[in-house]
A and B are shown apart, each in its own frame.
Chain A
Amino acid sequence: GAVVSQHPSWVICKSGTSVKIECRSLDFQATTMFWYRQFPKQSLMLMATSNEGSKATYEQGVEKDKFLINHASLTLSTLTVTSAHPEDSSFYICSAPWDREWNEQYFGPGTRLTVT
């Protein structure tokens, strides 16, 4: 089946630095990818929709200047957390729709970000 990968799976960074997280669709093309964040023991909250060749669309309350999204190709989307702070520590998960009807999405394994 379709596979979505994320890199890195785990990252620790110092407060004030930036971190880039990659999301790749390994055996299919994804013109759209979604980014979620998940706080400990909570549900997934949609952050933004990444669109290949155009700007990402952000959900209400998500700072677009803090969470930079680039969808450089049909198989790669990146999320950069800029000037990270401890409150940005979370589990970040991406997903990509699989078929044309978009009723199935494949999720990446997630990236655990810890900001110290």
Chain B
Amino acid sequence: AQSVTQLGSHVSVSEGALVLLRCNYSSSVPPYLFWYVQYPNQGLQLLLKYTSAATLVKGINGFEAEFKKSETSFHLTKPSAHMSDAAEYFCAVLNRDDKIIFGKGTRLHILP
């Protein structure tokens, strides 16, 4: 069964520093992978998605993620963190029943 694992429930970075949020997937077939962001008391916003078209996926707000099959990873990065990036980030995979399965989430803290 498809699943994702997010390493680190909390990540803190300084403003202007590199953001790296880790996600590893488990899938027996080429997966559809997603990163979503959730601001407090709000729904989810799609940051980017991987659908096998390109291994490096660029999303909104300067985020990007690279699909690495050899490492079964889909880590999310942003070169320079901004205070407004503080939020909860979810990695997710589309399973065979067309259902999105979420990781446990990583809360990103931005230090001034």
Contact = CB atoms under 8 A, between A and B. Distances in A.
Interface of A: 6, 32, 34, 41-46, 49, 93, 95, 97, 101-110, 112
Contacts, number: 47
A45 B104 CA distance: 10
A43 B42 contact: no
Contacts of A44: 44, 90, 102
A97 B36 CA distance: 15
B97 to A, nearest CB: 8
A42 B6 CA distance: 13
Specify which of A42, A93, A103 lies most central, judged by the most chain B CB atoms within 10 Å of its CB.
A103
A9 to B, nearest CB: 9
Interface of B: 32, 36, 41-46, 49, 51, 90, 94, 98-105, 107
Contacts of A45: 102
Given A43-B102, A43-B105, A105-B100, A93 B90 contact: no
A97 B49 CA distance: 14
Nearest to A105: B100
Given A109-B43, A110-B41, A110-B43, 4 more contacts: A41-B107, A95-B44, A102-B98, A107-B43
Contacts of B103: 43
